Amino acid sequence: MTNTQLVPIFDGHNDILLKLIEECADNAVEAFFQPRKGQHIDLLSAQKGGFAGGLFAMFIPPEDGRSFRKTPSQEFARDYTMNMITLLRDIAAASDGKVEICRSVGDIRKAMAAGIMAPVLHIEGAEAILPDLSNLEAFYNDGLRSIGPVWSRSNAFAHGVPFKFPASPDTGPGLTNEGMKLVKACNEMGIAVDLSHLNEKGFWDVARISTKPLIASHSNVHTLCPTTRNLTDGQLKAIKDSNGIAGLNFAVSFLRKDGAKDVNVPLSVLVEHVDYMVDIMGIDHVGIGSDYDGAPPPSDLDSTAKLPALTNALREAGYDDDALNKICHGNWLRVLEDTWGA
């Protein structure tokens, strides 16, 4: 008989804030609380499926409304980021205590124990950060605790990996001098550095200069799906050696061997990626990084309400309660505590 016991999931990456702003401009706060067609995360579905919180991305869409490859201006990125911070604050204020923005692992643990959703602010692509880093502390004070130097486009800090299939992630130069200063500043302040959209040279630059665990919040296995956005065996080993984490991405084009955007992906394919990461890195370095509301997931996982289907598939594949708790939340909390401090 299928085991339907909920396992709390702390998710390494989602894009619900941008989705709400873009699709529900007049009622973005209200849209977070009820299921809506095409939306993966809402409070009711999250409670049903055990979605406990995670890193809520703030990604900046095209400034011209068209070209995702064109880097937005700092002013546009700053204002858009502040709009998303305000949206999440408004959601928490309207939640009657059911959503609380977290700034520490202690906050996350307390929220999870009380059944309160625990979002953490994450910048995906550091265009909002001034190259001299003079506003980084202000964002930290606003609650920022995780940052990806780039999305899949270049900016002042690094060169993002373009979306190509099949292809190597070795697509160009790595961190700029400003990017190296950003990594060091994040290490000092206790801000996680996310490598998921960096190209291979950028990944190895961070691995060389960072003193914190390596984090690839939403990337899968390149050997199983050779897209530029997935991790090579060497990268997986480096994450393990740093005591870091890689988060399983639900995006179908990062799961399928053919790289197609076809949502007919059996859960066994996700289990295969988890198995491979566990074989390379060990059970202590694998997490979840769904990419919900940012990329199409398998039809069997197209809502947080359906998350028990994945944990049941992993259980049937031989993962016991201890292993599931590590993959679903424990490994993320350990890595974030190592990064932020107690």
Residues 83-118: pLDDT tens digits?
A: 999 999 999 999 999 999 999 999 999 999 999 999
Interatomic CA distance for residues 176 and 181, integer angstroms: 9
pLDDT digits 0-9 by tens, 204-253: 999 999 999 999 999 999 999 999 999 999 999 999 999 999 999 999 99
Predicted local confidence at residue 1, as pLDDT? 31
Structural domain span for residue 225:
9-340
Q: Which residues contact 162 (CB under 8 A, 6 or more apart)?
A: 69, 152, 171, 228
When the pLDDT of each residue in the chain is averaged and rounded to a whole number, the result is 97
Predicted local confidence at residue 297, as pLDDT? 98
Residue 2 lies in a domain: no
Q: What is the CATH number of the domain that holds 166?
A: 3.20.20.140
Residue 1 lies in a domain: no
Instruction: Tokens for 160, please give them.
Output: 């993002």
The more confidently predicted of residues 239 and 1 is: 239
Q: How far is CA 341 from the centre of its chain?
A: 20
Residue 154 lies in a domain: yes
Instruction: Tokens for 168, please give them.
Output: 């190597």
Residues 45-59, mean pLDDT to the nearest whole number: 98
Residue 4 lies in a domain: no
Residue 188 lies in a domain: yes
Q: pLDDT at residue 23 above 50?
A: yes
Interatomic CA distance for residues 83 and 63, integer angstroms: 14
Predicted local confidence at residue 2, as pLDDT? 43
Residues 274-289, mean pLDDT to the nearest whole number: 98
Residue 110 lies in a domain: yes
Interatomic CA distance for residues 197 and 163, integer angstroms: 10
* Cβ neighbours around 32 below 10 Å, total: 28
In the chain, the percentage of residues whose pLDDT exceeds 70 is 99
Residues 14-20, mean pLDDT to the nearest whole number: 98
Residues 51-60, mean pLDDT to the nearest whole number: 98
Residues 259-285, mean pLDDT to the nearest whole number: 98
pLDDT digits 0-9 by tens, 146-189: 999 999 999 999 999 999 999 999 999 999 999 999 999 999 99
Predicted local confidence at residue 274, as pLDDT? 99
Instruction: Kindly indicate the confidence band of residue 4, based on its pLDDT and cuts at 50, 70 and 90.
Output: low
Predicted local confidence at residue 30, as pLDDT? 98
Interatomic CA distance for residues 167 and 153, integer angstroms: 16
Angle at 121 between CA 115 and CA 124, to 5 degrees: 135
Q: How far is CA 108 from the centre of its chain?
A: 16
Predicted local confidence at residue 49, as pLDDT? 98
Interatomic CA distance for residues 30 and 292, integer angstroms: 19
CA terminus-to-terminus distance, the chain: 40
Residue 3 lies in a domain: no
Residues 276-296, mean pLDDT to the nearest whole number: 98
Predicted local confidence at residue 3, as pLDDT? 45
Residues 322-338, mean pLDDT to the nearest whole number: 98
Where is 54: in which H helix or E strand? Answer: strand 51-59
Count how many domains the chain has.
Answer: 1
Instruction: Kindly indicate the confidence band of residue 67, based on its pLDDT and cuts at 50, 70 and 90.
Output: confident
Q: How far is CA 260 from CA 166, 191, 297, in A?
A: 11, 34, 12
Predicted local confidence at residue 178, as pLDDT? 98
